Amino acid sequence: MKQTPVVLIHGAWFHRSSWESWAERFTAYGYAVCVPDWPGEAPTADQVRRDPGPLRDLGLAALTAHYERIVRSFDNPPVLIGHSAGGLIAQRLLGAGLGRAAVALAPLPAGSTRHLSFEPLSRTWFRHVVSNAVGEEEAAKLYDRYAVPAPLRLLTDLGRDRTAAGSADTVVDTADSARGPLLLVSGQEDRMVPDAVTRSAYKLYGDSSAVTDLKQFADRGHSLVFDSGWRPVADHVLAWLAANGIEAADAQG
Q: What is the mean pLDDT of each run of 10 residues along the chain (253 residues)?
A: 94 96 97 96 95 91 96 96 96 94 91 50 92 98 96 83 44 86 98 94 92 97 98 98 93 51
Give the integer Cα–Cα distance in Å for 49 and 42: 9
Give the integer Cα–Cα distance in Å for 206 and 173: 12
pLDDT at residue 39, rounded to an integer: 95
Please, is 175 exposed, middle or buried when counting C-beta atoms within 10 Å of its C-beta (0-12, 13-18, 19+)? middle
Domain boundaries, the chain: 2-250
pLDDT at residue 156, rounded to an integer: 84
pLDDT at residue 148, rounded to an integer: 95
pLDDT at residue 116, rounded to an integer: 52
Give the integer Cα–Cα distance in Å for 31 and 5: 6
Task: Reduce the DSSP state of residue 33 to 3 states and report it.
Answer: strand
pLDDT at residue 199, rounded to an integer: 95
Displacement of CA 119 from its chain's centroid (Å): 22
pLDDT at residue 121, rounded to an integer: 76
Other CB atoms within 10 Å distance of the CB of residue 21 = 16
pLDDT at residue 118, rounded to an integer: 46
User: What pTM was estimated for this model as a whole?
Assistant: 0.92
Whether the CB-CB separation of 110 and 161 falls below 8 Å is answered with yes
Task: Reduce the DSSP state of residue 162 to 3 states and report it.
Answer: coil
Instruction: Kindly report the CATH class assigned to 2-250.
Output: alpha beta
Whether the CB-CB separation of 133 and 217 falls below 8 Å is answered with no
pLDDT at residue 56, rounded to an integer: 87
Give the integer Cα–Cα distance in Å for 241 and 253: 16
pLDDT at residue 165, rounded to an integer: 38
pLDDT at residue 64, rounded to an integer: 95
Task: Reduce the DSSP state of residue 156 to 3 states and report it.
Answer: helix
Whether the CB-CB separation of 88 and 110 falls below 8 Å is answered with yes
pLDDT at residue 239, rounded to an integer: 98
Helix, strand, coil distribution of the chain in percent, nearest 5: 40, 15, 45
Alpha helix locations (H) across the chain?
20-28, 45-50, 60-72, 85-95, 123-125, 136-146, 152-159, 195-204, 230-243
